[in-house]
Structure 1
């Protein structure tokens, strides 16, 4: 843990004060606020879900009680009929004529309150028997007609004496199918050979309307065997079979109700609107809390940040003046905090330091003059070493040409030699433009062309933006001369020399490439080390002093910021690449 804290502290040291203050705001204000608000939101959400669950439980209980009450009341009425001797005698009696039955039928329903009682509950009752002396019609029917219904078939399959069913079956007239809610009761309380049955048919539309009038915000579905038989919303139509229950609808609360062997599932779906409605209702308060808890602290952190970083940035800028001849004092010394005290201390230090600089300035100038004199002496020594080197090679070319060509083109060669001679004898200024240096290279290569003939070809490519840049005199030609002598001269077959100068990434790149014999890897590494570490002492040794000389002068004019690379392969050729910062050219 201690190591972790130390790593964090080291990492924090790399951040600016501005970043540190914003990190403080994020971890000490914003992040705790988000966590706290998230916890509060979860608590509210859980509370809302518990409330919804409680409400859905109450809704399910109310719906279950309502439908159970209706069906159980019907069941009690059916029990009364089931145990009535009077009704059993009416259905079992043998009638001599149809007229006798009709008179008995009218007398029977005149004396009983059964029809009025069931009609008040919007239940249509019908009694069925296989008594062949009874005329079918009104409240009494033939048992054969009942056997064709789904309700009778379901009751018969269950083996029970009574049952409650939701069916999609033919209406009373037999013209169409419709949704039905039916209660069936076998009337076998008294012994007898005849089969008797009671059917109580509920008003399906009234049951739907009753459920809708309960005015629940939640969707309520009453299902049997994965079919929606009742709901407070429109599911399917009365002209089609019951709609299948979707798995998505099952999400929510549900409970089971068993009514005379029929198991009903009461589903209550979540509204999903309460939480959103609460947030919308409390939106002004929420926005106010966000303003107070997040934006207001950010505003003050921004002010503090400005107070800190503005003065520290100014102090940092004046500290950069330590590289100049005088320290720059800060103009604003206001503030009684530690930063203000540090600014005032810095100004006192700057004033004292400037006084000391003025005292020792003349001594420093004398030292600088001595250093410049020493540098100039080194340059003059280098110049004196370069001049004979080139003159010798030029004269050797003239000699070879005179022998081979009987002096027919000597005049042209002497002209090229004159160009070169003027270049190295005019040492008034050590630097020349690349354009001037390239003219010297062209003269040298033209002279060498006389010497090597078809064995030497060359190509020079200089970007326009590089032509006016300056380089030490005789820089490029030194590397070109090296390519001729150590590359082309030792190769019997024709060869090429390429000179390229271009600008890239604030650097001037100079490339001198030849397709000569190249060199061994050991010699290449040795020469590259000498080029990168060139100094005056190396010039006292024998070897390729021209290359070392050129590299040393490049290092001196660039304050040792020049980069040199040497690449090549034996039998293939050599590539020298020089990168000089633009500020030194």
Structure 2
């Protein structure tokens, strides 16, 4: 048996790959048949799903139209009453006695068709007023009858003039507990000083019957949040509290949101059982039998063809793993006349040439990396040289102004703080400093600026203790603080504040510099945001004010361009710069030695 298989392998190796695929196509013709059947199945299933979704959409649209029609009538009636002067005069008139009011009430109702219009639409209306000369009863009551109701409280709490409310009335004043649908509108068109309201109450049972009479097979739920208000199924009990929605059962339901007088309602249409899948399940044994016949028989032929491919391809795959090493391994087997054998022979020639080039290429790569590191160091040194005079001239100007204006001995204290700053400039042996060291430098800078601006400058610095040891590029934070002083506080005549906040943001840091200075226009904010996000060496070569761009370039270098900048503000109010750094190196002793811990 082994000898036969070996001869079969040799015979198959002499065929081209193109011929092998022709044989594969002929023998395995059933596989395309299965694929075709699968496409038909999926297409049919998709069509069935789209059909059901379209049906649910139509149901939701019909329910929405019915609700809008019923409740819209109430809104139209409310708008008519809202601008009707006869209603205003009837409700606002001060009556001398009960008889006068009763006569006015009967005369008023006899002259309006409102009662008939509401009755035809399964609605009842009631007017409420704070006029204490009326007699409670009929369609008009004093405001005391309304004030403690849920609909009144919610309308005033939400500061609306009209609203639709679904409430469950379990008050002791009612004989039976029941669900109620209420449209409540404030009547303040002519007189906003006195309270007058129109309440239209819908027949809850009539609404439920309207939905059930649509005779949909799908269950329809109308909800406010997770409260089930109306349903054509088991949730429409008139005398029980509103039930809560089970989100697990609504995962496949169609969802449609509508708004009626400020009340957000959601219409859920649950799908009926999938008849298509039910038919498939009933025929599952026959389908599995046909699938077995179509798969097992072609599989036996495929194994014969695969032996011709997989044996040598597996061996070739093993030698391909040597590409991870410094020396490629050639493949010993080159028998056969097909494309795989030709590929093996070409691979062996490639191995011979590649092994000779690896050493040369490897050396060139090392040399290229050394040049790249040298270039980055040169760029950093160039950035350092730009920073020194930028800060020094501002500080000397502060000392000069103070000496001219006050002539006090406090100059010595200013010079001491200047020494702290100057030491940061000249010690460029390491561009990274701890947050703690940078904040000490910021404090010295702001103290010097305090001498210059006096009461016009106030500042507050907040740093999480766990962030003090993290390393950042030197003179990063103070660059943004200086910008806040020069462009924020200096141009503002009234007192201003500068806030510096540093805290953790996930695995990284968030640095925020805020000033309450003169702020910037929106166009200027956008320009600054773009310059910071796109900062590079080329922008620095253009000269001008490069402090902020300098700091942004160095932050992008040390974070491999993962730092994020955001600039927010408003002209005349102030500016906030936020820097998010995803990850920084944490120092071990710098901050602790400086703080004396």
TM bucket normalised to smaller: 0.3 to 0.5
Greater relative CO (CA pairs within 8 A, separation 6+): 2
TM-score between both structures, scaled by the size of structure 1: 0.44
Bigger Cα Rg: 1
